[in-house]
């Protein structure tokens, strides 16, 4: 998947979270909120990723604009999916979700710190 729009991220995240049948366990708004948090966290880890994209403000997205283009460097887009999955699963009360969330957060960080091929 190209992960070019907000809707693409929602679809990809739902697949990894096995949340593809309505009524959904995770709202579109919670998924997009996690995307916005991921952008802030990526800025903390890799501020250089954003030098060519934004002078003063990081991008922010809304579930109300599913066709909006998500401006993340292509080689790092899947890492953002992993963060979104982890962030939403951390909200769950189930102990098994914590371990799975940790794996996804570690994938996010390691992919941000590795040059894409």
Considering the entire predicted model, what is its pTM?
Answer: 0.86
Distance CA 34, CA 84 (A): 5
Q: Where are the domains of the chain?
A: 6-112
Q: How far apart are CA 93 and CA 36, in angstroms?
A: 23
> Which of 108, 78, 87, 76 is CA-nearest to residue 29?
87
What contacts 111, CB < 8 A, 6 or more positions away?
Answer: 76, 78, 79, 82
Looking at residue 100, its pLDDT comes to: 77
pLDDT digits (tens, 9 = 90+) for 72-104: 888 899 999 999 999 998 877 665 556 778 888
pLDDT (tens digit, 9 = 90+) per residue, 6-55? Answer: 999 999 999 999 999 999 999 999 999 999 999 999 999 998 888 766 56
């Amino acid at each position: 998947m190209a992960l070019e729009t907000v809707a693409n991220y929602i679809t990809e995240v739902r697949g990894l979270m096995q949340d593809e049948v309505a009524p959904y366990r995770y709202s579109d708004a919670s998924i997009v909120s996690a995307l916005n948090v991921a952008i802030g966290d990526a800025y903390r880890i890799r501020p250089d990723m954003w030098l060519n994209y934004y002078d003063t403000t990081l991008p922010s997205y809304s579930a109300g604009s599913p066709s909006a283009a998500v401006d993340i460097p292509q080689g790092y887009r899947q890492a953002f999916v992993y963060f979104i999955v982890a962030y939403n699963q951390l909200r769950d009360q189930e102990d098994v979700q914590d371990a799975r969330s940790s794996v996804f957060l570690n994938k996010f960080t390691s992919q941000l710190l590795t040059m894409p091929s």
